[in-house]
């Protein structure tokens, strides 16, 4: 399976949402926003306000409830919104979270869409 097929499977499993939909979910509470970009990207642009940063390569270690390195922000009763720079890494990350047993996972896509929509940013 190539990256094209992996992305197709991820996009089929993880609904893509708009910045407006993300804002509604965040406003309802019990929502975790996860930035899966590299640290240099986050440093350059800031991140969605209130988001945690877990680069994609560490996601399984931070999100697996069985892992000793679990980030306590992850909880299966939360709605989880993932994003990256353009939407590819976040789609794959969302699929990983689904595979780990998280049900309510959504792909916001690219950070620029959030910023362009006037979404709040933590610098």
Tens digits of residue pLDDT in 71-99: 999 999 999 999 999 999 999 999 999 99
Q: Which pair of tokens denotes residue 35?
A: 């930035």
Q: Give the Cα separation of 39 and 34 in Å (integer).
A: 13
Query: What CATH number corresponds to the domain at position 84?
Result: 3.40.250.10
Closest by alpha carbon to 96, among 59, 54, 52, 58?
59
Q: Are 19 and 117 in contact (CB under 8 A)?
A: yes
Length of the chain: 123
Partners of residue 99 on adjacent β-strands: none
Q: Are 75 and 32 in contact (CB under 8 A)?
A: yes
In sign, the C-alpha dihedral spanning 78, 35, 91, 65 is negative
Domain that holds residue 104: 3-122
- Domain tally for the chain? 1
Q: Are 29 and 77 in contact (CB under 8 A)?
A: no
Question: What digits encode the pLDDT tens for the residues 23-41?
Answer: 999 999 999 999 999 999 9
Q: What global pTM score does this model have?
A: 0.97
What is the bridge-based pairing of β-strands 121-122 and 47-48? Answer: antiparallel
pLDDT for 21 beyond 90: yes
């Amino acid at each position: 399976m190539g990256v094209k097929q992996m992305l197709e499977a991820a996009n089929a499993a993880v609904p893509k949402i708009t910045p407006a939909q993300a804002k509604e979910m965040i406003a309802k509470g019990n929502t975790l926003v996860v930035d899966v970009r590299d640290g240099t990207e986050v440093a350059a642009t800031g991140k969605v306000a209130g988001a945690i940063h877990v680069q994609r390569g560490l996601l399984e270690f931070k999100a697996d409830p069985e892992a000793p390195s679990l980030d306590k922000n992850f909880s299966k009763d939360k709605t989880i919104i993932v994003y990256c720079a353009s939407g590819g890494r976040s789609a794959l990350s969302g699929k990983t979270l689904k595979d780990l047993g998280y049900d309510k996972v959504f792909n916001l896509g690219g950070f620029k869409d959030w910023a362009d929509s006037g979404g709040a940013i933590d610098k």
